[in-house]
Amino acid sequence: MWDKAVKRLEGFGYEIKAADKPLLKFAVEKAKSTVKNECNLSEVPEGLLCIAADMAVGEFLNAKKTFAAEDLTGLDLNPAVKQIQVGDTSTTFAAGDGSLTPEQRLDGFINHLLNYGRSEFGCYRKIKW
């Protein structure tokens, strides 16, 4: 899952530095714990690895925004997805969305990473007794 998170960050234009590794490692472990706890499993299922990686990236970006926002200046949010509609497939990109500040776009993007795909947890959830 580490590699998925690193590649996802690189895809957004963020290059991992040596100083980022402990924070990203913590974010990956937190995402794994969240998935395992919400699904009552001992391991993250293969089908949820990408969702967990996105959650880890969201945690990482949220921490960076809070404690080292200047590190995120190279992050390109213009092509970030603003809306996804599953029925009849519709995707809207946030490019040209002049009503939102860059910080609001970043907050929306982080929120999307942290929450998108949680509906799929039910497919893997085990009942606790």
Q: For residues 55 and 49, what is the distance between their CA atoms, to the nearest angstrom?
A: 10
Comparing CA positions, the residue from 85, 90, 60 lying closest to residue 75 is 60
Question: Rounded distance, CA 106 to CA 60, Å?
Answer: 12
- Which tokens belong to 31? 């995402």
Instruction: Tally Cβ neighbours within 10 Å of residue 124.
Output: 17
CA distance linking residue 31 with residue 121, whole number of Å: 13
Beta bridge partners of 42: none
State residue 89's pLDDT score: 66
Structure tokens at 127: 């009942």
- Phi and psi at 25, nearest 5°, equal -60, -45
To the nearest whole percent, how much of the chain has pLDDT over 90?
A: 41
Collect all residues with Cβ–Cβ distance below 8 Å to 64 and sequence separation of at least 6.
20, 23, 71, 72
Give pLDDT, residue 4: 92
What angle, 0 to 180 degrees and rounded to 10, lies between the N-to-C axes of helices 49-67 and 102-115? Answer: 150
CA distances from 4 to 8, 84, 85, 91, 127 (A): 6, 22, 24, 23, 29
The string of pLDDT tens digits covering residues 44-84 is 999 999 999 999 999 999 998 888 777 776 666 655 555 56
Mean pLDDT (the chain, rounded): 83
Confirm whether pTM is higher than 0.85: no
Highest mean pLDDT among 23-27, 106-110, 125-129: 23-27
Q: What is the pLDDT of residues 40-54, one digit of tens each?
A: 999 999 999 999 999
